[in-house]
Structure 1
Amino acid sequence: MSEKQQKASAYWKENVKYLFILLAIWFAVSYGAGILFKDALNQFHMGGFPLGFWFAQQGSIYMFVILIFVYVRLMNKLDKKYGYDKE
């Protein structure tokens, strides 16, 4: 395997790691906060609505948008690390 292939393989391995971590966070927020822990979270209110309901309706969407920006930032750093930002 050439050095270029090794570099590309390491790049994609790290990229997939980031994807799994970010998707796990999104899953935890959307499924965990919106469904599993909604009864405990409903004791608190946000914007006049129970917090569990808010996460199920709005929180997971907001978290997804935030994670998109985090992913972009991570990928920019990853591109610089492996030298793909110059192409």
Structure 2
Amino acid sequence: MTDKQNAIAYWKKNVKYLVILLTIWFVVSFGAGILFKDELNTIKMGGFKLGFWFAQQGSIYVFVILIFVYIRLMNKLDKKYGFDE
């Protein structure tokens, strides 16, 4: 592949990862915290209703985990396309 084709393929894969990870975060934060809170509130976690927990804490934890997943995916992608240090 040429450098330009390599860069385009790298960028497409990067955008794909971003869309997937941000979709997961949206589903967890908006879906679990707002849309499905009534169903989740029937479950208790640490003395709090699970819907409340997702709205207050869960989406933040998931976001931090997704940051580490993104770092790992990008390190692999960098090595695959030769952009690593």
TM-score category by the smaller chain? over 0.9
Q: Distance in 2 between matches of 1:25 and 1:54?
A: 17
1:45 maps to: 44
Deviation at 1:55, TM superposition (A): 0.1
1:73 maps to: 72
Gaps of 5+ in 2: none
1:64 maps to: 63
TM-score, length basis structure 2: 0.97
SS in 1 for 2:84: helix
Letter in 2 for 1:53: F
Give the alignment's Cα RMSD to 1 decimal: 1.0
Q: Distance in 2 between matches of 1:80 and 1:45?
A: 43
Q: Where do 4+ consecutive residues of structure 1 move more than 3 Å?
A: none
2:14 maps to: 15
1:46-82 Cα distance to aligned partner (Å, 9 max, x none):
1110000000000000000000000000000000100
Letter in 2 for 1:56: A
1:25-51 Cα distance to aligned partner (Å, 9 max, x none):
000000000000000000001111000
Letter in 2 for 1:82: Y
TM-score, length basis structure 1: 0.95
Letter in 1 for 2:21: L
